[in-house]
Amino acid sequence: MERGRRPGRALQRTLQEPGKESEMSQHKNTILAVVLSILVVAGWQYFVGYPQMEKQRQEVALKQQEQTQVQPGATQPGAAQPSAAPEAPGVPGTPTAVAASPQALAASREVVIGSTPRVAIDTPRLGGSIDLKGGRIDDLTLTQYRETIDPTSPPIVLFSPSGAPDAYYAEFGWVPAAGTSGEMPGPDTVWTQQGSGALGIDHPVTLTYDNGSGLVFTRTVAVDDHYLFTMKDEVANKGGNPVTLFPYALVSRHGAPPVLGYYILHEGLIGVMGDQGEQTETYKKMDDKKNETWEATDAWLGFTDKYFAAALLPDTNAKVTARFSAGDTGGSKTYQTDYLAQAQTIAPGATGSADARLFAGAKEVSVVGINFLGNIDGGYNAALGLNHFDLLIDWGWFYFITKPMFLGIDYFFHLVGNFGIAILIVTVIVKFLFFPLANKSYASMAKMKAVQPQMAMIKERYADDKVKQQQAMMELYKKEQINPVAGCLPIAIQIPVFFSLYKVLFITIEMRHAPFYGWIHDLSAPDPTNIFTLGGLIPFDPTLLPVLGGFLHLGFWPAIMGVTMWVQMKLNPAPPDPTQQMIFNWMPLIFTFMLAKFPAGLVIYWAWNNSLSVMQQSVIMHRHGAKIQLWDNLKATFFKPKPKQPAE
């Protein structure tokens, strides 16, 4: 009996194998469509969902921090002090900070600024002042940038003095070696301005301090027409003994800085430590690490926010001990980046000097500079010979796409004067570059359109035998050289471009508050309209509804994008598998709601790209003799054709 069963089973397997292969081929397309959908949903969750959750968590933490700031707190031993010069190994005498009182923490910025003598800062881009008590640059506003799109809104505040909320400042000075007598300038030292007038372009200011022990300190501060401060510190030794001093510079922040929490953007401590490369730390990680130190030459370091930054730029040939640190002062978190330069021994009658530079301002690409294809293009990166200063702008892992995307948009912006139009022009160029690949894809879809009658005959012939039906379909695809998933390719190839444009819109300050036309006044922000309120005609906010409220903000441009994507899908032949049909039918709606919270510039790009794809695909299908059944497919969506009655 066994021998009688084996040939039957073998024969049965032989008959079933082609069906299995065909069935596997059928499901490959479904699996591919499902995977693409999962990737899109996962990408939305990664770039939008998680950051929103993180932002909410940080808002809660910030409220808790504000509550704890009104309670007295003791300084932790060994914690980094915001106004302390960096320690050098074996060098005692590092000045320490006095913890700010709860009353001082609660004081307004204006009150703190008005409580000390100051020298004004006045340039076309910067406003503020230098505190003569301590010699700090701790009052800085960016006059060309506003908090909102309203031109009358307050300017962006970058630096605030110690004792004010969100203190943020830069400090420069000297650390004495062991055995050095005399007081060094510190946070409480009152400097004297030589001459008068505000710090401005081509108008430096000079500050002096005599410690009464034979050392006279002179500081000359200059500022350029953008965001670069240059400090020249000199020490004249009028005593009878040599002194050894270490120049230092620091940037300090009090309190946990508010961050957006997006994973595609670094906000926190940043630097390039010579040959050791880029070093970055988030505030949360620094709370755990407390301290990181590097010995480096050709280094820079500081803090970066989304659009603004403050960075110390020591001489590229100087060997420095650079440090990131975090601590707690008066119950408030503190973060600091600083460096200590090599010691200088100043003989009696001699003068020692140290140069320092500070970048404090907006991260404009033309000002910071950009490295692309080995070429250093403009900005401080090139002018000062800095070590990859363009990393201050977070171009991301796919910088080789993001950078040319920005350069292209910026180039056309200077030609047409509108970033939205520039995005549309770059989209046309991208379509041209991808034309060979898209042409092949659309040609395959045109062939599929042309064999629709043959596919219908196969379905009718093998209506009761799905295995043979799929076999015949695959043979037809192979014979006509048709890729059944060609419809996914136009979407797949634009995903890298999509995310690079998203990155450009998200990180570059050039796109901030950049208007388009109509109701779009900021391409980097989501469409402010809502179709559920008819653009504001209905006095109702559906986003406040429980559970579903978060999904009920849908602007007009995301809706337009969804329609163009739906039309593009309907231009393609319907997939033979019902599961694929369902996925493709729902995909435009899913994308519509997902992109509702993305920058408007990105949504406009996607809608424009879809429109170009529809035109391009229609032309290619016409050239291949395929009937364009767009209207028929649209009609079939709403009016299902009646099934044919079997012939008697």
- The answer on pLDDT for 9 being more than 50 is no
Residue 442 domain-assigned?
yes
* 336 and 418 part of one domain: no
pLDDT at res. 238: 92
Q: How many Å apart are CA 309 and CA 621, to the nearest integer?
A: 51
Q: Which residue has the higher pLDDT, 496 or 503?
A: 503
* 178 and 248 part of one domain: yes
Here the tokens at position 462 are 């093998």
Q: Which residue has the higher pLDDT, 180 or 575?
A: 180
Q: How many Å apart are CA 532 and CA 552, to the nearest integer?
A: 7
User: Which of 340, 361, 394 is the C-terminal boundary of a domain?
Assistant: 394
Residue 608 domain-assigned?
yes
Domain at 325, CATH number: 2.70.98.90
pLDDT at res. 37: 54
Instruction: Determine the structural domain holding residue 330 and report its residue range.
Output: 103-257+266-394
pLDDT at res. 89: 41
Weakest mean pLDDT among 38-42, 159-163, 198-202, 381-385: 38-42
* 320 and 466 part of one domain: no
* 111 and 229 part of one domain: yes
Query: Tens digit of pLDDT for each residue in 567-596?
Result: 887 776 666 667 767 777 788 888 888 888
Beta strands in 62-122 (DSSP E): 118-122
Q: Are strands 319-329 and 332-341 parallel, antiparallel or unpaired?
A: antiparallel
pLDDT at res. 451: 75
pLDDT more than 90, % of the chain: 47
Weakest mean pLDDT among 27-41, 400-414, 564-578, 588-602: 27-41
* 367 and 464 part of one domain: no
Ramachandran class of 255: left when φ > 0, alpha when ψ lies in -120 to 50, beta otherwise: left
- Closest by CA to 492, choosing from 158, 11, 43, 10, is 43
* 155 and 200 part of one domain: yes
Number of domains in the chain: 2
Report pTM.
0.78
pLDDT at res. 638: 58
Q: How many Å apart are CA 631 and CA 440, to the nearest integer?
A: 24
Q: How many Å apart are CA 162 and CA 253, to the nearest integer?
A: 9
* 532 and 592 part of one domain: yes
pLDDT more than 70, % of the chain: 74
* 343 and 450 part of one domain: no
Cα distances from 421 to residues 89, 415, 471, 499, 608, in angstroms, run 57, 10, 49, 19, 11
* 342 and 451 part of one domain: no
pLDDT band for position 78 (50/70/90)?
Answer: very low
